[in-house]
Amino acid sequence: MRGRLLAIAGLVAVVASAWLTSGATARPSATPPLTIYAAASLTEVFKALDGAQHFSFAGSNALETQIRNGAPVDVFASAAPLNTQRLFKAGIVDKPVTFTANRLALIVPKSNPAGIRSIYDLRSKPVKLVVAAPAVPAGGYTLSVLRKMGLSSVLSKVVSRESDVKAVTGKVALGQADAGFVYVTDARPVSDQVSVIRIPARAQPRVRYEIAVVSKSPNKTAAQAWVRMILSAKGQTALKHAGFLPLPKASS
């Protein structure tokens, strides 16, 4: 009898050990990384804020097209409301929210070979100007600034229209152009290579960024939590430190 009891006890111990081992290996895996499509101007701040996610940075117009065509995305952050709002009206993303703002600036290489001191010098000097393509938010904002300042004629000096604002920044930083229009936040990472020429407040466009969860995201709960993080004090502080403007107050 004693031998039988010992055998049963041994069997129970083996089963318990197997169950514990199985339980240890079958623990729920960590939440998979989100796939986040974001405007190129958000590259540095988003990576620094949460490097655990999978990011794709590009012009907001190109990202909108990819999402519309079925790209597997969880969150979309755009540099202009137009892109997120079009997807919302098509039922492709949930209701977008504004999460930050920005300003446009003119940048020139540190060596400033064209001798540009003011935005008006673009009209009087022989310059090689680079801008973002019109469909890119930064490109649309650039056209708005030039119209407001009566400088649309300088578009004849454009030597390149880029697919996103980072490409504009890169060409000026490398001295491949005399000047380019970018967001003030884009000039910060290359501050040792470019100088910033401010645009008068009266000509500044209203640069608002919107973020939305993609409706068919398989990770919707995590995606919604990530958007809340961007809107939280943590996210807003990171954006502020990167040079973005505070979250615009809702109009009453």
DSSP string, 156-216: GGEEEEESSHHHHHHHHHTTSSSEEEEEHHHHGGGTTTEEEEEPPGGG---EEEEEEEBTT
CATH number at residue 150: 3.40.190.10
In a domain, 228, yes or no: yes
Express each pLDDT in 36-55 by its tens digit.
999 999 999 999 999 999 99
CA angle 41, 45, 50 (to 5 degrees): 130
Express each pLDDT in 191-219 by its tens digit.
999 999 999 999 999 999 999 999 999 99
CA distance 239 to 233: 10
For 152, half-sphere exposure in the C-beta direction (CA atoms, 13 angstrom radius) is 6
In a domain, 24, yes or no: no
Same domain, 179 and 144: yes
In a domain, 7, yes or no: no
Same domain, 189 and 229: no
251 pLDDT more than 60: no
Same domain, 176 and 220: no
Give the structural domain span for 70: 35-101+207-241
Same domain, 96 and 158: no
Residue 54 is inside which H or E element, if any?
Answer: strand 54-58
What's the domain count of the chain? 2
Express each pLDDT in 132-166 by its tens digit.
999 999 999 999 999 999 999 999 999 999 999 99
Same domain, 109 and 189: yes
Same domain, 96 and 211: yes
Among 106, 121, 120, 72, residue whose Cα is nearest residue 92: 72
Same domain, 97 and 132: no
